[in-house]
Structure 1
């Protein structure tokens, strides 16, 4: 009689299936790597000059040039590192937004490379591509604008986040037993991050966790002896040209005053200078979109169950928690772009979590359910990535950025545009000195208005539109309502 013996409970799990063996082939791995990074480079760099200026972008581009030319007096309300880089890239490749935008996009791709190299030894080649792809391909837009990826603009946030990712990855190398030099690199990178925008200074406790937990006290003391001076020296050297004491004092004074007085924003159709604590979560929802939010929620929660990588998850989760707590409960202001500061950590955690779902070491029935959830998350991520890629392909001027070309199509190349309902930065870089807020001005050839709780349309402008409605042709230019006189009437208005 043949006896069937059940395998012991501690028996090794079955070997990899056909799909896993296929994915582990070198040709497949390298092809997947190329696809993810070429796609990521496309999203970060293609058609990058097409969009209107971001609100703060012209100032940072100009100040960068001023800093490199020796004028170091402007814009001390934010740290200088990113502006130095924007100035240097313009010095090398020419003035204007193209070179700084390419720099921001390139740093995003380079951050993806750091993420992959960091997580490949932890997760494996193909699994490490999941968080890498989440970082490179999923949206991080600005609510209330047509900016679907903030890191396609020459602003401070992409530079800050690049150096934060570099710092976290470098510190992890030391944690894994590599040279103490990596702690020095981490400290310098964190200094460059916080001197691009100061927010990431709040993640210092995550580095302390890495240094102090699971390490002999001698190693921890040596790491602190390297990290603290390296961080301090980086901050001093960065601030030296603009004045260490005066530069940091100006930064603290400005940020403190803004925290006290507030920053007027449009929050869900309401103008407020003192938004509720959840405002930045709302902006994250609007900027990322519901599809990607589902992916991030599933993956981030799943990562908490990954016991094999629990210390890595704790490291990332602490950094995420510190950034979220700062923006929700400590900072008194909210802006549609602030949430970008924590999205890198969510991308990594969500990627780790989705990988865990796809290969969780649990009983078969539960494993099947988890794999279905993981596959669904990947499918949703693919939908979100493709949607973002289509936005890249179709990116171009919007709103006030379309006014000049619209008038030229009608043969109108000069004259004033009466503007109301928008902040000056929205039209300044596109129609510039052709804009007027005075309905009695001579040579008005068109009117442009926008519905904004922050900037109500002037009653005088509404009266002007009503008085000339029979002569005006109304067109919607994205969120801008545009009224134009015909060519003959426009010419008559300018006589």
Structure 2
């Protein structure tokens, strides 16, 4: 019958439309609502400086992501939406790439589910209640290009060719040029060396080609720096090396760690996925990994997830956002796992899939609902609360135990960043103290009680995660 094939096509079209709707909501809805943190402000400032020919800001990170933010800045006239548009686009494109990766492993419906997992789950570092790809930071391009590296590795695994090796090199180079931690995407080359070990000579030549192309792509992003490019490259490598050597204090499970324990990435992830959600995602991904291990398109994805996870675990630095690099292959394999369980058409498979899906559906629904009602948050909201109290005028001093740069953007008066001893360096003539637990919890000596005892209780307000103490 001529109409028989139309139903599957219509069903697939409807599924893709549904994914598109979720993607637009997750990444683009109310994109211009102020929820900036210090990192985003720093990268937006650097991008704007690039447009003025000033390449001296934020030298501790490579320039590609900031160049992309600058492009959005030009097209959109420098608005917050314009600066975030590239990040949102990267989020949508990553959904497309994750779809393609899972489809190569287990078919169309696995691809659809992978894209839904990527779009609907709150895959943010956990300190800001918004999707990581809704802000103008380095992570959106990093995750897009690292996902592209996995897809390119799949193509190389299925057929060796210089062009495919070169595309893999472009993806790895772009990921590294977005953020130096993107160099971990080069681990997919090791997976390909193992995959084609019986044809080691052309494989080794291809790996060298991919490495050369990735290096050229990375260096090409520094061309706008002109004669200062060599120094800038040395600076980013040296700064990151020293950063790893000195550590970074993080609060993990209620304790401060300069070098957090190996299991920290899962603890960070559970803060926004919940422990049941995180356990379900990884468990179903393990099912997917077993299901596709024997396939040429599947092994690179499995090995990429293993390599990315190993890199995050072994890294001396474990910032909350570092584990984001594992999320694209994790979503792809989880989708494959769900598809595998459901295709068995057994009661046991359906029960397991339902139990695993339940916590993820709850988390995804909460996240999308939060995005739908996105409003000014954290520091912007704190400023509004202070204005309502009449203590946010040009002459009012506000002290902050948190992101001073973010608060300075939204207050007309002076903002004073606190040191480690709240009891001694807070001037009680200040109008208010703003405490950000996500920052204060990582700093020794954050004794708010000492300040209260010295300066008086006053009013205590909440601005999302922030605590605002107003002097009596």
TM-score bucket (shorter structure): 0.7 to 0.9
Per-residue deviation, 1:59:
0.8
Provide the rounded CA distance (Å) in 2 between the counterparts of 1:212 and 1:279: 29
CA distance, structure 1, for counterparts of residue 125 and residue 194 of structure 2: 37
Aligned length: 454
Q: How far did 1:82 drift?
A: 0.6
* Rg larger in structure: 1
Answer yes or no: is 1:435 the counterpart of 2:415: yes
Task: Name the residue aligned to 2:49.
Answer: 66
Shift of 1:309: 5.2
User: Secondary structure at the residue paired with 2:260?
Assistant: coil
For residue 37 of structure 1, the aligned residue among 17, 20, 31 is 20
Asked whether the 8 Å contact 2:105–2:292 carries over to 1, the reply is no
Q: Does 1:333 align with 2:306?
A: no
Cα offsets for 1:234-266 (capped at 9, x unmatched): 122123333453223212211121122221222
Give the equivalent residue in structure 1 for 2:62. Answer: 79
Task: Pick from 89, 95, 100 the counterpart of residue 117 of structure 1.
Answer: 100
Say which SS state the counterpart of residue 338 (structure 1) adopts.
helix
- Equivalent residue number for residue 350 of structure 1: 334
1:423: how far off? Answer: 4.3
Whether contact under 8 Å (2:37, 2:403) holds in the other structure is no
1:14 maps to what in 2? none
Aligned-pair CA distance for 1:355? 1.0
Tell me how far 1:411 sits from its aligned partner. Answer: 5.6
1 CA distance for matches of 2:158 and 2:209?
17
CA drift of 1:43 comes to: 0.6
The question of 1:97 aligning with 2:80 is answered yes
Partner in structure 2 of residue 401 of structure 1? 380
Unaligned ranges ≥5, structure 1: 1-20, 487-495
Provide the rounded CA distance (Å) in 2 between the counterparts of 1:264 and 1:106: 32
- Specify the alignment match of 1:234 in structure 2: 217
Which residue is equivalent to 2:401?
421
Match of 2:361 in 1: 382
Point out the more displaced range, 415-424 or 127-136: 415-424
Give 1:107-146 correspondences, 5 Å limit: 107-143=90-126, 145-146=127-128
Kept in 2: contact 1:421–1:449 (CA 8 A): yes
> Which residue of 157, 174, 185 maps to 2:167?
185
* SS of the residue 2:278 aligns to: helix
Q: CA RMSD in A?
A: 2.9
Q: Quick one: which of 360, 371, 374 aligns to 2:350?
A: 371
- Counterpart for residue 467 of structure 2: 481
Could you tell me how far apart the structure 2 residues matched to 1:234 and 1:183 are? 14
- Structure 2 length as normaliser, TM-score? 0.86
1:23/1:203 CA distance change after superposition, 3 Å? farther
SS of the residue corresponding to residue 189 of structure 1 reads helix
Supply the distance in 2 between the matched residues of 1:376 and 1:66 (Cα, whole angstroms). 50
Cα distance, 1:413–1:161 mapped onto 2, change above 3 Å:
closer
Equivalent residue for 1:147? Answer: 129
- Structure 2, unaligned runs of 5 or more: 419-424
Q: 1:205 to 1:340 in 2, by over 3 A?
A: closer
CA distance in 2, matches of 1:431, 1:24: 57
